[in-house]
Amino acid sequence: MNTKSLAKAGGIAAAVGVGAVAVGIGTVLGGIVREALRTDIAVDDGPDELLSKPAGEPRRRVVRTPDGTGLNVEVYGADDDDPTGDIFIMVHGWTCNTAYWYPQINHLITAEAGDRRVVVYDQRGHGRSERGRARPTVAMLGQDLDAVLEATVPAGRRAILVGHSMGGMTLMSWAAQYPEKVGTRVSAVVLVSTAAKAVMENHGLVPVDLPAYARPFAPFATKAITAVPMPIPRTSAGVRFAQYMALGPNARRSHVDFVDDMVSSCPPRARAGWGAAMGKLDVTAGLRALTVPTVVVVGTEDRLTPVKHAEQMAEVLRRNGSMRDLVVYEGVGHMSSIEAAERFNEMLDELVEQVSGNEKAVRPAG
């Protein structure tokens, strides 16, 4: 066979290979779409008041990260001149923004809950925060949190850190880089629907009944969903897809719409950049550095960070002696602190009572 024939044969083989990859990835993505469209339509039982925008404007400020990126930080609740009580710092997850925490803010700033001070911020590239010029990394998440903590928690006060999904990874990234601050700047940690490692390899999005030839292409399909900067179209099918990915099978329509609006507003470049960064996730060192009481929360129907992630984290924390509780919500998906907001808020109240010595856990009205 001459050189020209070899080149032609090689080109044909390459084309066949590319075609096979496309078919494999297409089969996986098609299976995910099929399962999403089979999901029961969310129950429309009216609005959820906890998802309402909190009364009164937050005290907003811009906190600069070590590389100069501006983060939008919002402070709710107790006035700046109130020197008592631990301060909640709540960190949202991938493709979300500060609105994710409305159910908790609306509860914690009430007199019945002790009029807590709550700090929330938009992760870089999300919400009102700048994206910055640097390529997103997991280490950057922890560095950004440290900047917010130092800017919003005065000397002598401590924070209760609450992180959902990528926000939980942020807390562990922070602890890995600043272990000396864990015991002095933080009183407790809540890891919500998150993972310490191998998050892209151990999710539940891909149907189990795929053809055998398509299964090896599942990682490539996952990367296409998470790390390709494509706009998310606003369609009825898109809402079903958001429900399948992020919420439980018995989700309320108000919850699905709220999540779909929030996720759809995330800029595609930020979504893809952080999706790619999480592909290299391993913050187990930070998990081991959490020496304060730590709660792990997960829903049984969480497809993005299934229960096995929570169980693995809980085992590490038990060995640390810092495990306070593993909370599992039956029938709840990835957006657990929205879907099970009342139970989640009760858990936060109990945690405050334990770690704050009751000095501000409950403040009588009036």
Task: Evaluate if residue 9 carries a pLDDT over 50.
Answer: no
Does position 39 have pLDDT exceeding 80, yes or no? no
* pLDDT at 92 (0 to 100): 98
The confidence band for 360, taking pLDDT boundaries of 50, 70 and 90, is very low
**Is this model's pTM higher than 0.75 or not?**
yes
Considering only residues 303 and 7, tell me which one the structure prediction assigns the higher pLDDT: 303
CA-CA distance, 360 to 352, in Å (whole number)?
8
- 3-38 and 218-227 helices, crossing angle to 10°: 70
Residue 20 has pLDDT above 80, yes or no: no
Q: How large is the average pLDDT for residues 59-63?
A: 97
Q: Residue 28: pLDDT above 70?
A: no
pLDDT single digits (tens) 89-131:
999 999 999 999 999 999 999 988 778 999 999 999 999 999 9
Residue 185's pLDDT band, with cuts at 50, 70 and 90, is: very high
pLDDT at 199: 85
Lowest mean pLDDT: which of 5-14, 121-130, 323-332? 5-14
Residue pLDDT, tens place only, 280-322: 899 999 999 999 999 999 999 999 999 999 999 999 999 999 9
Spatial strand order in the sheet of 117-121: 59-64, 70-77, 117-121, 87-91, 159-164, 186-192, 294-299, 323-329
Name residue 13's beta-bridge partners. Answer: none
- Mean pLDDT for the chain overall: 86
Q: What is the mean pLDDT of residues 19-31?
A: 58
Give the pLDDT confidence score for residue 203 in this predicted structure: 77
pLDDT confidence band for 366 (50 / 70 / 90) = very low
Q: Which of 257, 277, 258, 261 is nearest to 269 (CA)?
A: 277
The pLDDT of 37-44, averaged and rounded, is 76
**Overall average pLDDT of the 58-70 stretch:** 97
What per-residue confidence (pLDDT) applies to 253? Answer: 95
- What pLDDT, on a 0 to 100 scale, did the predictor assign at position 233? 64
Whether residue 1 has pLDDT greater than 80: no
Nearest CA-CA partner of 98 in 46, 149, 58: 58
